[in-house]
């Protein structure tokens, strides 16, 4: 039986009685303003997320902040800005790991002298861009959810910083970065079939854990860039800024302002704002399709009829023969035909237009785990037409540039 959990609120942002975690709307009152420090460090964020303003004031979740104010989860370290500056070489761009809607993410190192009991380790420090869309609310949701929920397939939040106007998050460092980088970067060599399956199962376990919590947690932002990879390709979910507590008791859904990422969000959620765990299952199905095809959920560089992955690929998913046409050419035909067919079947169920027809994540974990031992690799080659359509490999860059990009990678 999963442990009953409740989010706690924070000393660094007082919330009035009756405010609701579902929308976190009242938290905007303690939204910090942009300081010289964050102005210099944070560049422009490229938003791929969408949102509508309609239900900003929604009061959907029954979980309420009380007048009592608690600290964050006890295991979290409250860092000072000066400590995180020191850990990241003053947020140097040489240590930039990436940038998302929240702000920039920098690699850092914490030595064992920084805090008693905190082991020396590499970390990833996320710096809130105060002028970003959801900045402060997402920061708070992240600390609340990730502070409470610990699991092998959720990235570990080590601590946070909430000093004056600055809001930062400190995570365990994930050496292999995001799944997005591995699947879609032109220069990446791609991931072998077994690794893709391992990642699919790990991410499914993370979601199954969230959905099995009491009350359930709806992740709401499941996508390739939010799946981070450990050294051995263990998948961990990151970014809980949009997470919500799911329906309780008799309720079938929670109503929210529509947020998420184009190409991943479930159609009924976009239409109605009604959110259930099955909305996450849809997004999971989209990521399975990305793992199979090596294509992004939305790719504007493709011909019009191929731009939206779900629409384009759906007719190819029900037979092994058709599936062959859409498998990622980077696999070079090295995949189990039976397992790929099963994964396609699971994906098809997950992206069903009817939420009730989508499987539970726990069932999906079982179904995918059964495929781990299938090794019928022989005789599968990528379809020659597809191989011809692939962009030509890029010409090698001049030596000087290559050397510098290599050193950036190995930091
Ligand atoms: N804990 C971490 N360890 C290593 N790299 C990380 C870590 N967290 C984030 N990153 C890197 O930083 C990048 C940006 O992450 P971030 O979550 O801010 O944005 P995103 O997921 O790309 O976009 P979005 O804001 O839409 O979620 C990731 O793609 C990943 O490469
Ligand atoms: Mg992210």
How many residues are recorded in the chain? 411
Tens digits of residue pLDDT in 167-225: 999 999 999 999 999 999 877 778 999 999 999 999 999 999 999 998 899 999 999 99
User: pLDDT at position 31, please?
Assistant: 41
The residue from 129, 221, 239, 280 that is catalytic is: 221
179-388 folds as Transferase(Phosphotransferase); domain 1 (1.10.510)
Is 50 exceeded by the pLDDT of residue 113? yes
Give the residue whose CA is nearest to atom 27 of ligand 1.
100
Tens digits of residue pLDDT in 78-106: 999 999 999 999 999 999 999 987 889 99
Any atom of ligand 1 within 6 Å of the Cβ of 222: no
Contact 59, 22 (CB under 8 A): yes
Higher pLDDT, 159 or 409: 159
Tens digits of residue pLDDT in 129-163: 766 555 777 888 889 889 989 999 999 999 999 88
Any atom of ligand 1 within 6 Å of the Cβ of 268: no
**How far is C-alpha 42 from the chain's CA centre?**
21
Tens digits of residue pLDDT in 259-314: 778 899 999 999 998 899 999 999 999 999 999 999 999 999 999 999 999 999 99
Range of lowest pLDDT (19-33, 36-50, 63-77, 163-177): 19-33
User: pLDDT at position 242, please?
Assistant: 84
Is 70 exceeded by the pLDDT of residue 70? no
Do β-strands 259-261 and 49-51 pair in parallel, antiparallel, or remain unpaired? antiparallel
Contact 13, 140 (CB under 8 A): yes
75-78, long-range: CB within 8 Å, 24+ apart, which pairs?
Answer: 75/147, 76/143, 76/147, 76/157, 76/158, 76/159, 76/160, 77/115, 77/118, 77/158, 77/159, 77/160, 77/170, 78/159, 78/160, 78/161, 78/162
Higher pLDDT, 341 or 252: 341
Any atom of ligand 1 within 6 Å of the Cβ of 138: no
* Helix residue ranges per DSSP H, 102-241: 135-148, 179-184, 193-212
Domain borders along the chain are: 8-71, 80-173, 179-388
- Token code pair at residue 80: 């000072």
Tens digits of residue pLDDT in 305-358: 999 999 999 999 999 999 999 999 999 999 999 999 999 999 999 999 999 999
Helix 277-293 / helix 361-369 crossing angle, nearest 10 deg: 30
Query: What value does the mean pLDDT take over residues 96-123?
Result: 90
Measure the CA–CA gap between 167 and 39, rounded to whole angstroms.
13
Ligand 1: atom nearest CA of 171 is: 1
Is 60 exceeded by the pLDDT of residue 68? no
Is 60 exceeded by the pLDDT of residue 391? no
Longest CA–CA span in the chain (Å) reads 65
Any atom of ligand 1 within 6 Å of the Cβ of 238: yes
Active site residue 221: yes
Q: What is the mean pLDDT of the chain?
A: 78
Measure the CA–CA gap between 249 and 215, rounded to whole angstroms.
9
Out of 3.90.199.10, 2.70.210.12, 3.30.43.10, 3.30.200.20, the CATH code matching 80-173 is: 3.30.200.20
Measure the CA–CA gap between 287 and 211, rounded to whole angstroms.
18
User: pLDDT at position 375, please?
Assistant: 78
Ligand 1: atom nearest CA of 172 is: 1
Tens digits of residue pLDDT in 5-31: 444 444 455 332 222 333 333 333 334
């Amino acid at each position: 039986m999963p442990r009953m959990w409740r989010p706690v609120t924070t000393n660094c942002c007082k919330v009035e009685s009756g405010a609701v975690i579902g929308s976190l709307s009242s938290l905007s009152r303690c939204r910090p303003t942009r300081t010289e420090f964050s102005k210099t460090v944070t560049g422009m964020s490229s938003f791929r997320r969408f949102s509508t303003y309609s239900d900003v004031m929604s009061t959907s979740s029954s979980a309420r902040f009380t007048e009592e104010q608690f600290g964050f989860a006890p295991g979290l370290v409250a860092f000072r800005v000066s400590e995180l500056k020191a850990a990241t070489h003053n947020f140097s761009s040489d240590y930039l790991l990436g940038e998302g809607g929240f702000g920039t993410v920098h690699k850092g190192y914490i030595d064992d002298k920084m805090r008693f009991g905190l082991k020396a380790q590499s970390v990833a420090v996320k710096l809130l861009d105060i002028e970003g869309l959801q900045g402060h609310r997402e920061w708070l949701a992240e600390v609340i959810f990730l502070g409470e929920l610990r699991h092998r397939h959720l990235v570990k939040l080590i601590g946070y910083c909430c000093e004056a106007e600055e809001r930062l998050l400190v995570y365990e460092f994930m050496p292999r970065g995001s799944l997005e980088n591995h699947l879609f970067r032109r220069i990446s060599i791609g991931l072998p079939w077994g690794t893709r399956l391992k990642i699919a199962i790990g991410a499914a376990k993370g979601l199954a854990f969230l959905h099995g919590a009491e009350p359930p947690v709806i992740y709401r932002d499941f996508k390739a860039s939010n799946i981070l990879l450990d050294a051995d390709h263990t998948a961990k979910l990151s970014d809980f800024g949009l997470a919500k507590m799911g329906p309780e008791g008799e309720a079938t859904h929670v109503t929210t302002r529509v947020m998420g990422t184009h190409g991943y969000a479930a159609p009924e959620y976009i239409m109605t704002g009604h959110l259930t765990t099955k909305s996450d299952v849809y997004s999971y199905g989209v990521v399975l399709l990305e793992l199979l095809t090596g294509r992004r959920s939305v790719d504007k560089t493709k011909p019009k009829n191929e731009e939206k992955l779900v629409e384009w690929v759906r007719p190819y998913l029900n037979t092994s023969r058709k599936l062959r046409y859409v498998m990622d050419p980077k696999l070079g035909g090295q995949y189990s035909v039976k397992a790929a067919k099963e994964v396609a079947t699971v994906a098809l169920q997950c992206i069903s237009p009817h939420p009730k027809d989508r499987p539970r994540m726990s069932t999906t974990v079982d179904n995918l785990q059964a495929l781990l031992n299938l090794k019928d690799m022989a005789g599968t080659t990528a379809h020659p037409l597809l191989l011809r359509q692939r962009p030509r490999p890029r010409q090698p860059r001049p030596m000087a540039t290559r050397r510098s990009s290599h050193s950036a990678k190995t930091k």
